Structure 1
Amino acid sequence: MKLLKRLLILVLLVIGVVIYLNYPKLTIISGYASKNMASGVFVAQRSAASLAQNDNNVPLIELADAEVDTEHQWASASVYGLMNRKAIFREGLGTVLVNDDYDESMTIPIPFRNQPMDTIPYPYGQANPKDSIFDDVDMGQLDKAVAMAFGNPEIQKTRTLLILYKGHLLKEKYVDGFTKDTPILGWSMTKSVLATCYGILEHQGKLEMDWPAPITEWEKDDRKNITLNHLLRMQSGLEWDEDYSKISDVTRMLFLESDMTQSQRTKKSIAKPTEIWNYSSGTTNLLSGILRQQFRSHQQYLDFPYAAFIDKIGMYSMILEADIAGNFVGSSYSWASTRDWARFGQLYLDRGNWNGEQIFSPEWVDYITEPTLHSDGTYGAHFWLNANGKYPDVPKDLYSCNGYQGQYVFVIPSKNLVVVRTGLAEDPDFDVNSFLSEVVKSVP
């Protein structure tokens, strides 16, 4: 009996120490858990049990207990009853963490979606993909690459994989609980989606990348020299802390702010534009706010990405989630099926041309793949690059959308390949270089 009491006291002490050391983070922990749970259930249509066992079963987040109200479409979470946070689902806008600023009576428009069906085979249409046989593809080698991606599920944690070659589906594979229709959270792959809106507006002649950022409060100081190009390349020189392990600029923005477009906007300059490269999710959400300024109404802003390219290329599963103020969270929150993420990659492989329509100019691809100064050849304009040979056994013309926990859309123009991989682990647990090197060996 005494031993049990001592063990109980010890357990309570351990819990107390954990709470004490992490108390400032509890609102982030419960916020992450409730937001991830709500989106997983109401956007991805997955079970709460699966999300708790897998997606939220990571260090610190595992401390939170989440519950789901399917009738009212919300999820909440707390850590040992502390710092309860709630995330609600809004049709067409995904889920959002609520705070004291949230007004249930506030009405936000929802995007209009135009999703006609057609008889064009995937990926260019909604019909089933063709059974394609290429004499120059080594299918045995490709099978080896696929097997490698799923070879160690406890470490690699790959969930879905899809490979397109010359606009044809070669391979796709899904773990239990995921299908070709399951929406996957892209995390920072969303940055590339948001940037594409700028490429389209440039192609339409409505803006240019060297324009100064249209922010009134910057006009009286050195920030007036920051251009759209600087923002897209993460070289604005603005202060920003992208640290997810503590209360930082990025965690405050994602888990506490009502209007995420303001977080970077209010930061001071710590360097002149182009002097430093500093990866910033706040910059992307600032760009989302600037994008909103290009339209006369909130409705036009919400409709634009879908009408301009998302629905146009058949990414019908995609949802861009919005903050409380109704701004797209371009830094982090978009969902799409693996097949639809591959469509996005194919649009870029085809240099903006989709079924004969030029959605953005071919030169936009050259722009986003030009290495940014001080990024060591790893970053272009809201896309990641292999220009410095980060993946030594993969062609240097590879560029990609990358997201937290190993969400990837790889585009390899010299090999006519688009490769999508999603999961819960990234480099080095999921060895990108080894996997892709096996894929490229299968094609000429």
Structure 2
Amino acid sequence: MYFPDADEWERRDPEAVGLDPAAVEAAVDYHKLNGTPREQINYDFADHETWDEAEGDHGQRIGPHPARRGGPAGVVLKDGYLVAEWGDTHRADQAFSVAKSFLSVVAGVAWDRGEIDSVDDPVREYVDGGFEGDHNGAITWRHLLQQTSEWEGTLFGKPDAVDRNRAVGKDGEALDKSETRTLREPGTFWEYNDVRINRLSLALLRTIGRPLPRVLAENVTEPIGATDTWEWHGYYNSTVDVDGTAMKSVSGGGHWGGGLWISARDLARVGLLYLNDGAWDGNRLLSEAWVDASTEPCDVNEGYGYLWWLNENRTLWPSAPESAYAALGHGQNTVWVDPEHDLVVVLRWLRYDEDAEETDARTEQDRFYAKLLEGLD
């Protein structure tokens, strides 16, 4: 396995690493012809003060956005080598919920260092505030990492209820966001909810006692040779006191602004780290145990691990191996890891099929992978 130095990346012709050049070209051309349209995600983020009209007054943006988004871009790595690259892969662009997987990375650093003894510990044993009472007090780190916490409350002005019933990852039976529902016991119900993700981010900040971007940089992005162009933002009102020091609590997505702004090349390096079970050129950055646990299916959602999307029963990507997994964000921002074929794919701004049924798993991502994987020896 090849690991690129900080300022360079060795390229290989696809056929030199067992890929059909025509298949690689077909996959890349498919993305170029199917970039995210303006009407799906507007180029000019700054023009949008409200994320979701269904959220009413709580839908207002409270964090920064890049002024504009980029165009279709991507990277394909095989055995670590750069075999395809298109678009502006150096642009630090909004990655949306890819940031959730980066929170999982930081949680892994804390777990490896013993700052979190067990993911099954109640979070209230580590932080003061936010986890009082019988319901919230029963929430564990595992619940937060798997999005099964059912945490109830308001954080940075956003009540958890405003983000309940999101259709992300749900079938056709998902409720409308305007409908209410009774909370379940922690660990028994899966729901994609950014308020609860931000609760995890704040809990990690208070447990580690240092800004999460600094933890990520020192333990992951700097050792793997990523650039210093990425940024991880919180909200305008998410500065908190941590042991007497003011620190910004970062968001786990761009739902109301903030979030992770990063280049396709830097995302590919993180994907390569996970492809190699947390090791980089012989240097152990994350334990193999953490990477394995992160990609194990959640009991109540087999397609989800510790903030990584999984392909159990080939449900999410029928054309890909069952072992494949990914960090996914709005705009089809994707870091796809395929251990069976030693592949890493980064996609930025791929269109999505608005006419497909919720249960239709053959997404635009899968169409890309199907074309790419046709070229494997």
Common topology (TM > 0.5) = yes
Counterpart amino acid of 1:159? P
Query: Counterparts of 1:169 and 1:406 in 2: how far apart (Å)?
Result: 21
Q: 2:89 aligns with which of 180, 184, 197?
A: 180
Q: Say if 2:112 is the partner of 1:203.
A: yes
Query: Counterparts of 2:141 and 2:36 in 1: how far apart (Å)?
Result: 42
Bigger radius of gyration: 1
Instruction: Return the offset for 1:226.
Output: 1.1
SS in structure 1 of the partner of residue 77 of structure 2: strand
SS in structure 2 of the partner of residue 172 of structure 1: strand
Match of 1:334 in 2: 260
Instruction: Return the offset for 1:180.
Output: 2.8
Counterpart amino acid of 1:197? V
Q: How many residues align?
A: 296
The change in CA–CA distance for 1:272 and 1:221 in structure 2 (over 3 A counts) is same
Q: 2:304 aligns with which of 357, 370, 379?
A: 379
Which string of whole-angstrom CA distances, capped at 9 and with x for unpartnered residues, describes residues 140-166 of structure 1?
Answer: 211111112222457599610110011
Instruction: Return the offset for 1:127.
Output: 3.1
Query: Counterparts of 1:369 and 1:135 in 2: how far apart (Å)?
Result: 26
Unaligned runs of 5+ in 1: 1-120, 242-246, 252-267
Q: 1:193 aligns with which of 88, 94, 102?
A: 102
SS in structure 1 of the partner of residue 331 of structure 2: coil
Match of 2:330 in 1: 404
Contact 1:122 1:128 in 2 (8 A): no
Q: 1:315 aligns with which of 226, 229, 232?
A: 226
Counterpart amino acid of 2:230? M
Match of 1:150 in 2: 32
Contact 1:129 1:169 in 2 (8 A): yes
Contact 2:36 2:352 in 1 (8 A): no
Match of 1:443 in 2: 376
Instruction: Return the offset for 1:122.
Output: 8.7
Query: Counterparts of 1:391 and 1:380 in 2: how far apart (Å)?
Result: 16
Contact 2:108 2:290 in 1 (8 A): yes
Identical-pair percentage: 26
Counterpart amino acid of 1:273? P
CA RMSD of aligned residues (A): 2.8
Contact 1:124 1:355 in 2 (8 A): no
Instruction: Return the offset for 1:368.
Output: 1.3
Q: 1:366 aligns with which of 284, 292, 309?
A: 292
Match of 1:212 in 2: 122
Instruction: Return the offset for 1:132.
Output: 2.1
Instruction: Return the offset for 1:222.
Output: 2.9
SS in structure 2 of the partner of residue 421 of structure 1: strand
Instruction: Return the offset for 1:353.
Output: 0.3
Counterpart amino acid of 2:197? T
Instruction: Return the offset for 1:327.
Output: 1.0
Contact 2:2 2:79 in 1 (8 A): no
Query: Counterparts of 2:213 and 2:334 in 1: how far apart (Å)?
Result: 25
Instruction: Return the offset for 1:197.
Output: 0.5
1:7-26 to 2 correspondence within 5 Å? none
List structure 1 runs of 4+ shifted beyond 6 angstroms: none
Q: Say if 2:196 is the partner of 1:283.
A: yes
The change in CA–CA distance for 1:419 and 1:131 in structure 2 (over 3 A counts) is closer
Counterpart amino acid of 1:329? S
Contact 2:35 2:351 in 1 (8 A): no
Q: With structure 2 as the length reference, what TM-score do the two structures score? A: 0.72
Query: Counterparts of 1:399 and 1:408 in 2: how far apart (Å)?
Result: 10
Query: Counterparts of 1:331 and 1:311 in 2: how far apart (Å)?
Result: 22
Query: Counterparts of 2:2 and 2:72 in 1: how far apart (Å)?
Result: 21
Instruction: Return the offset for 1:292.
Output: 1.3
SS in structure 2 of the partner of residue 144 of structure 1: helix
Report 1 or 2 for greater relative contact order, CA contacts < 8 Å, sequence distance ≥ 6: 2
The change in CA–CA distance for 1:283 and 1:371 in structure 2 (over 3 A counts) is same
Instruction: Return the offset for 1:202.
Output: 1.1
Unaligned runs of 5+ in 2: 41-70, 155-159, 165-180, 240-247, 356-362
The change in CA–CA distance for 1:228 and 1:404 in structure 2 (over 3 A counts) is same
1:11-410 to 2 correspondence within 5 Å? 124-133=4-13, 134=16, 136-153=18-35, 159-174=72-87, 179-207=88-116, 208-214=118-124, 215-217=127-129, 218-239=131-152, 249-250=162-163, 270-296=183-209, 301-316=212-227, 317-324=229-236, 325=239, 326-332=248-254, 333-375=259-301, 377-389=302-314, 390-410=316-336
Instruction: Return the offset for 1:427.
Output: 4.4
